[in-house]
Amino acid sequence: MLPSTPFSSETLFMRVTSFAFLASLLALLPFSSAVSASGSIKQPEDVLGEDAQALNAFQQQALDTTFATLDAEEERLKKRGETASCTRQNLEIRLDYGSISKKDRKAYSDAVLCLQSKTANTPSSHAPGAKTRYDDFVATHIDQTPFIHYSGTFLGWHRYFTWVYEQALRTECDYQGPIPYWDWPKYANSPQDSPIFNGDEYSMSGNGEYIPHAGTVLSPLPGAPGDPIVLAPGLGGGCVKTGPFKDMQVNLGPVALPNATLGPSGGLGYNPRCLKRDFGPGVAVKFTNYSAVLHIMKQQDIASFQLELQGAPGSGSVGPHGGGHYTINGDPGGDLVWTLWQALDPSNRQNAISGTNTLLNQPPSENTTLDTQINLGHAGGTNISMRDIMSTTKCPFCYVYL
């Protein structure tokens, strides 16, 4: 249950073979524990049941609170003769990919293909590899990676990034259906069989072709404690040959891929190749299962919430965000869990921010505040302050996750 985005990383252990793809997934991700690529690993049934229910209860509570807040605000403005801009009537509902119709799934991937067919706004002097509108988003993510991960802007930036990407799908490529997200834990046992990744014409394409390979070893972040994290190999590894993105050409990167060299111009150069994927239950089952996501939801302050989401350096965990990354080799985001978490205690959490403006505060930088400005470069959007992106039901946003 988390939205996802396109991106990259550098110092991060995130390895992003297919940033490209991520963007499309802007709204999806899950996982949990394992070792081989056998596909037989399961979350323990009893634990799954209990934790899934607890997570469900959180989600219901969050929704109730959000609706009550919306209604109260509408009432308040009405008394003053004003009209609320975000109400139950125009609220956008983001849905699990498997819950939207096949027609909408197809329309969604068509819209992503459409973005990939339009010319980039990014000047080639800035990122020679950015050829398409889709690449604009990937390039921005590569560019800003040192400031938007393990930083105070992490959650807000990815929320805005996801939203602007969706606006592009709607306004530039005429997508009219609901915005889908990837329900991480729901498909953690077997992401390759999920409606998102099963490779049929309604999916976001399937796994890469199977190439026997070892797992990925992630070195600790620079300056961070701990041993390398070993990720189980997935069931793919080669080029994606099924579904809507079977002929997709990835232009940018790679960035911070453990077993590959950095792409030209720091990942911003032109480096055309096929879209590769390597997912399987190993990583997903370990890091995006119901227990893992519930663990995040139980964090009481924003610092621990976002740290656990990304995986605390030295903890041996990549967190659900990292698990989603490694499951799809893309950016899973985390807006869904953040949105839920905020709604569980709005008075304390709505405007809570923790961290500085650089990755793990390297180099040292100022604390992120509500006044901190973010932007998405050539991807789109405007300069916007953190203050204006803290709520998903205040302008410019008006959405919830179901």
Which positions lie near Cu ion, rule CB under 5 A? 7, 331
DSSP lists the bridge partners of residue 237 as: 210
Which CB, 7 or 279, lies closer to Cu ion?
Answer: 7
Compute the residue count for the chain.
Answer: 402
Q: Is 210 helix (H, G, I), strand (E, B) or coil?
A: strand
Which CB, 7 or 58, lies closer to Cu ion?
Answer: 7
Which CB, 34 or 337, lies closer to Cu ion?
Answer: 337
Q: Tell me the DSSP string of 128-183.
A: TT--BHHHHHHHHHHHHHHHHSSSTTHHHHHHHHHHHHHHHHHHTT---SPPEEEE
Q: How far is the CB of 12 from Cu ion (least distance, A)?
A: 9
One-letter identity of residue 400 = V
Q: Which two tokens stand for residue 172?
A: 């530039």
Give whole-number Cα distances, 272 to 241, 249, 275, in Å: 16, 6, 9
Q: How far is the CB of 333 from Cu ion (least distance, A)?
A: 7
Q: How far is the CB of 397 from Cu ion (least distance, A)?
A: 18
Q: How far is the CB of 91 from Cu ion (least distance, A)?
A: 26
Q: How far is the CB of 156 from Cu ion (least distance, A)?
A: 12
One-letter identity of residue 29 = L
Do residues 244 and 202 make contact, with C-beta atoms less than 8 angstroms apart?
no
Give whole-number Cα distances, 177 to 22, 76, 244, in Å: 19, 31, 17
Residue nearest to Cu ion (CB): 7
Q: How far is the CB of 311 from Cu ion (least distance, A)?
A: 13
Which CB, 96 or 331, lies closer to Cu ion?
Answer: 331
Rg from Cα positions in the chain: 20
Which CB, 138 or 179, lies closer to Cu ion?
Answer: 138
Beta strands in 77-231 (DSSP E): 92-96, 180-183, 208-210, 216-218, 229-231
Which CB, 70 or 112, lies closer to Cu ion?
Answer: 112
